[in-house]
Amino acid sequence: MQEILKKIDANLPQLRRYIVTKASKELAELSQPCYYPKTKKMYIELLHILKISDKDVKDFVKRSTKGTKAEKWLIANEPTSRLLVFIMHLFLKNRDTSSYAATMVYYLIVQYARLMHKQIQYCDEDAFRYALDTLTKTHLFSREKTIPNSLYFLSKALQRSFTKDIQKWDEDRVLAFMIESRTRISQSVKSFATSYYNIKKSKIGIKTQQEPTDDKEEYKPEYVVLKRGQQVIDNVTKKITMYKLVDVKALNDAKNVSKIKTSIATQIANELINRRYADKIKILLQLFIKDLTSVQMVCGDEYYKYVKNLMGLKRTSAQLYFKAQVSILLKDIITNLKMNKLYDSYTSQTQFIINTFLAYYVTSILRNNLC
């Protein structure tokens, strides 16, 4: 310990600013799906601030673990992690507990990032969001509401257990801290990754029955099987109302097909992200998939004709049907936008265009998730 302390000529205020800024920035970024930072540049920058070399750190690590059971343990000999724990000790030695706490948070972020890079190298944002949303209530990421909150909560627990040990640099207890922190994050990351890959594996898709191959056999329509249909509808509904998604691709597609004014289309799409519409969106999508008879009716050009036919329905004995649900949803949106008088002043043709836009927009978001 004394050897590396003698070599350090650190500007502690600069070190403090760097650590606090990095920890705050990364905590904010971790609110985004599929975000986990890279750490190689950080290690080099810390060496520069401390005015030491990579060799100095590695020599320090070797001296710390020499002759112990941890001498060949990867977790005990990894330079970046060791350097961050050493910086915690440095701040505590200088009675800077707030910077120590920030370093602890950043240390956990680095461990999380490395584990996530290992578990989920190529990340699907939709699957990531859905996995977070469906975790058990006892899972750390679910119990603490978000990943940043989880790491912050864990840092507080670890501070209570190991602050004194890091301050006086009890090597065995420092090693215990590194093992416990890594293990607790690893458990959460691995169980989250399992949930993520299960969702990816069972990703909602549309399958059709094979058409009859015997020419003499009477033709029967294809029956679409939508695996876990309710699950994909729930997912789309959450994307719109919980994650506040305005699907630009779906918006432009629906706008071009319906010929609606851009200003009206934008207002409707921006209003639709409110959670108050969740139940109505679910019903609308359930009615949309109810009568599908071909995969092309969603993923091919037949989609446009299918929606047009649903919106062109004149009479039906059903009490609840797609066209009516579009009108119910639109009326709610118009009311909350306080556009009732303006909407009533439009011709029936313009009102139908607006209804058609809403039908295409919501179903296009579903389409973009399925096809």
pLDDT tens for each residue of 202-214: 654 333 333 333 3
Over residues 187-212, the mean pLDDT reads: 67
Those residues with Cβ within 8 angstroms of residue 296's Cβ, 6 or more apart along the chain or in another chain: 302, 303
229 pLDDT above the threshold of 60 = no
Q: Which residue from 310, 307, 180, 171 is spatially nearest to 250, judged by alpha carbons?
A: 307
Query: How far is it, in rounded angstroms, from Cα 267 to Cα 310?
Result: 24
Q: Which residues of 232-245 are buried (b: 16+ CB within 10 A; e: fewer)?
A: bbbbbbbbbbeeeb
Rg (C-alpha) for the chain, rounded Å, is 28
How much is the pLDDT for 77? Answer: 79
Q: Which residue from 37, 56, 53 is spatially nearest to 109, judged by alpha carbons?
A: 37
Over residues 100-107, the mean pLDDT reads: 93
How much is the pLDDT for 87? Answer: 93
Contact (CB, 8 A) for 26 and 107: no
Q: Which residue from 59, 83, 58, 45 is spatially nearest to 178, judged by alpha carbons?
A: 83
Q: Which residue from 55, 58, 65, 144 is spatially nearest to 108, judged by alpha carbons?
A: 144
128: tokens are: 């990531």
Query: How far is it, in rounded angstroms, from Cα 39 to Cα 45?
Result: 10
267: tokens are: 């207002």
Q: Which residue from 294, 149, 282, 91 is spatially nearest to 210, judged by alpha carbons?
A: 294
Task: Tell me the longest C-alpha to C-alpha distance in the chain.
Answer: 92
Over residues 240-257, the mean pLDDT reads: 89
Over residues 41-70, the mean pLDDT reads: 84
Lowest mean pLDDT among 103-117, 178-192, 313-327: 313-327
